[in-house]
Amino acid sequence: MKPKHNTRISMGCIKPLAIAISCVFSSMVLATTPSLSGPSQAVAGDIVQLKGHHLPLNSSLRIEVHSDDSSHSELIEVGADGSTNFQLYTSVEGTYRVLMFDEQHQLITSTLVLVRPAGD
């Protein structure tokens, strides 16, 4: 006579398993969210290096920079790995808002850099 195997899963095991699975999937989703990373503070006159991650592969994106006294935009190229680099020139103190738009003109990510006066 063969021994019977208990194939029932206890309810106590299901909840931790469900939590673990949801953590894995949510981290996968978050890992692919477009982002700009770099310093959040600078001194007027600094060149701030910003890096874009998880961007549309091999695409051209528009960067807009808005500061307290001006704004400008430029096109940047994204590599085959979905990343790019951008240099933010901080000529005067204030808040610099950097916006990144895709080819359909949809905002995909943004960041702020707070710039204090030189000599402070």
Separation between Cα atoms, residue 62 and residue 70, nearest integer Å:
17
The predicted structure's pLDDT at residue 48: 98
Q: What domains appear along the chain, each with residue ranges and CATH number?
A: 34-116 (2.60.40.10)
pLDDT tens for each residue of 59-101: 999 999 999 889 999 999 999 999 999 999 999 999 999 999 9
Contact status, residue 67 vs residue 113, Cβ threshold 8 Å: no
User: Which residues have C-beta within 8 Å of that of residue 52, sequence separation ≥ 6?
Assistant: 34, 35, 36, 61, 76, 78, 83, 84, 85, 86, 100, 109
The predicted structure's pLDDT at residue 40: 96
